[in-house]
Amino acid sequence: MKKTMICLLLMFVMAGCSDNVNQKAISDLTKNQTNEVTIVVFTNQLLENSFTREIQKNVDYINNNLRPDKPITNVSFIDIGNDKSYDYRHIFNLEDLPQIVLFEDKELVLKTDNPEDLVIHYEK
């Protein structure tokens, strides 16, 4: 019984620490957030120019047509192989890379590998 209680206590402590690390990572990623939106692209290799152009094309479309009053100005690219600040793969459950993660008001609202999903999200 005593061992069970200790194990449960350790599980609660570990879960609390994990949430704090997740929130700290989100806070760091969105610290320069303007107009309530941040886009982060996680990768582990050089991105193809077509992929980055597709992201830019979709962000431009959103800014010009769907959010002209509050354009998306914060787009970051993070190579998780080089940036060891956090275990982004674990925190955001990144199975496949590259992954586009959209934060609104410092909350994760979309995770996708398709740049077109950004437009679809704002057309809703």
Q: Give the pLDDT of residue 110.
A: 97
Is the separation of the CB atoms in 72 and 35 below 8 Å? yes
Task: Map out the domains of the chain as residue ranges.
Answer: 2-123
Name the strands in the sheet holding 99-104, side by side, starting at the edge strand that comes first in the sequence. 75-79, 37-43, 99-104, 107-112
**Separation CA 42–CA 115 (nearest Å):** 13
Which fold would CATH assign to domain 2-123? Glutaredoxin (3.40.30)
pLDDT for 48 equals 78
**Tens-digit pLDDT profile for residues 82-98:** 888 899 999 999 988 99
Residue 3 pLDDT > 90: no
pLDDT tens-digit map of 26-75 = 999 999 888 899 999 999 877 778 899 999 999 999 999 999 999 999 99
Average pLDDT on 9-37 reads 73
- Torsion sign across C-alpha atoms 94, 80, 100, 75: positive
Please say if the pLDDT value at position 108 is more than 70.
yes
